[in-house]
Structure 1
Amino acid sequence: MLATIQKQQNNYVVKFTRPLSHSVDAVWAVLTENGKLQQWMSNLEMIDLQKNGKMHFNMNDGTDAFEEITITDYVYREVLEFDWGKDSVRFELTTTSDGSLLVLQETISELTNHTPKDLAGWHICLELLCDLLNGIVHDEFPMEQWRKWFVEYELLVEDVKND
């Protein structure tokens, strides 16, 4: 399911919505527990899981280099928001009759040529997260699928820029 992009006054809001047949507890665990988190987003590591806490974006290049990320909003089992460069990423989780609803919202200050790459990356990471919840672990990032979604997000970003 492709994300949506809405232009707001001073930025753009990208929203990925994923209905899941898993409990909020199960989804929260894959969002916040390092052993599970790193199976779908290998660069992220929780350091201090709380509002104004810290995460690391590990370069995973053998140098132990990382960027520190600030957690800007946190509500246990409901909200995890953090800085993403100049932008922000927010996960919201709610209970539904069938399991839960996961919404990833990225607030972007400016659409660039790199934006479709990031959006395709988030799209694939959410697919990996869903697979992990279903007991499927991927050994490698699926670049072929990423390329497919990159083309879709290039078109979507171009449409939004032309509106």
Structure 2
Amino acid sequence: MNLPDPDAHGVATAPDTVRFERLLPGPIERVWAYLTEPEKRRQWLAGGEMELRQGGQANLLFRHSDFTDEPAPEKYAEMNAKGYPSVHRIIDIDPPRMLAMTWPGEEEQESEVVFELFPEGEKVLLVVTHRRLANRGEMTNVAGGWHAHLDVLATVLQGGGKRRFWSRFETLAAEYERRFGGA
């Protein structure tokens, strides 16, 4: 199997879908814990409790100051300070290999995110697929966000300290705008 480039960009696999692949330090149970355990997940994405069962609720709190010292752009300032709460539903789960959940989106359209884990020796291939995105503008924004969050996750799993997020996000959002086009 050809393993993904750790800096690889997300790929549009359909007009409303973006997919990322990252090879991360394992074992699979460790990566699973960073997807599902609040204290570990908040180090790269969002804290909050999840009912780890099909139909369960996930109450995520996106507070980027938990994992980056960088100031947020004005548009996202609340995500650094008090945080941004969001409610998700677990669509499907197969520990420690797959977690699928709803994702609040633009235009009141709920999208879906699927995390899949595949052991690759001492490493783990994480595949993140975000589908049912409302439009190209949302796809561009989501792609920049996932790419930057996955960079932080890789840094955390490799033992790094505070991470760049907002500066990386802004650069990536511009690159995805070029790759995917806007709304």
- Normalising by structure 2, we get a TM-score of 0.75
Match of 1:55 among 39, 47, 58: 58
Asked if 1:3 is matched to 2:22, the reply is: no
- The match for 2:72 is none
Q: Is the 8 A contact 1:14 1:108 kept in 2?
A: no
- Normalising by structure 1, we get a TM-score of 0.84
Q: Which has the higher strand share?
A: 1
Task: Quote the offset at 1:134 in angstroms.
Answer: 0.7
Look up the equivalent residue of 1:157 and give its one-letter code. F
Identify unmatched segments of 5+ residues in structure 1: none
Identify unmatched segments of 5+ residues in structure 2: 1-7, 64-77, 105-109
Task: Tell me: CA distance 1:45–1:100, structure 2 relative to 1, closer, same or farther (3 Å).
Answer: same
Partner Cα distance (1:127, 1:121) in 2: 10
Provide runs of 4+ in structure 1 moved above 4 Å: 59-65
Task: Quote the offset at 1:64 in angstroms.
Answer: 8.1
**Aligned to 1:39, what secondary structure does the other structure show?**
coil
Match of 1:78 among 84, 94, 97: 97
What RMSD, in angstroms, separates the aligned Cα atoms of the two structures? 2.3
Asked if 1:30 is matched to 2:34, the reply is: yes
How many residue pairs end up in the alignment? 155
Q: Is the 8 A contact 2:148 2:168 kept in 1?
A: yes
Partner Cα distance (1:120, 1:92) in 2: 19
Deviations 1:5-51 (A, max 9, x none): 022xxx52211001123210111111111111000013x42331111
**Aligned to 2:124, what secondary structure does the other structure show?**
strand
- The match for 1:110 is 134
Identity of aligned residues (%): 23
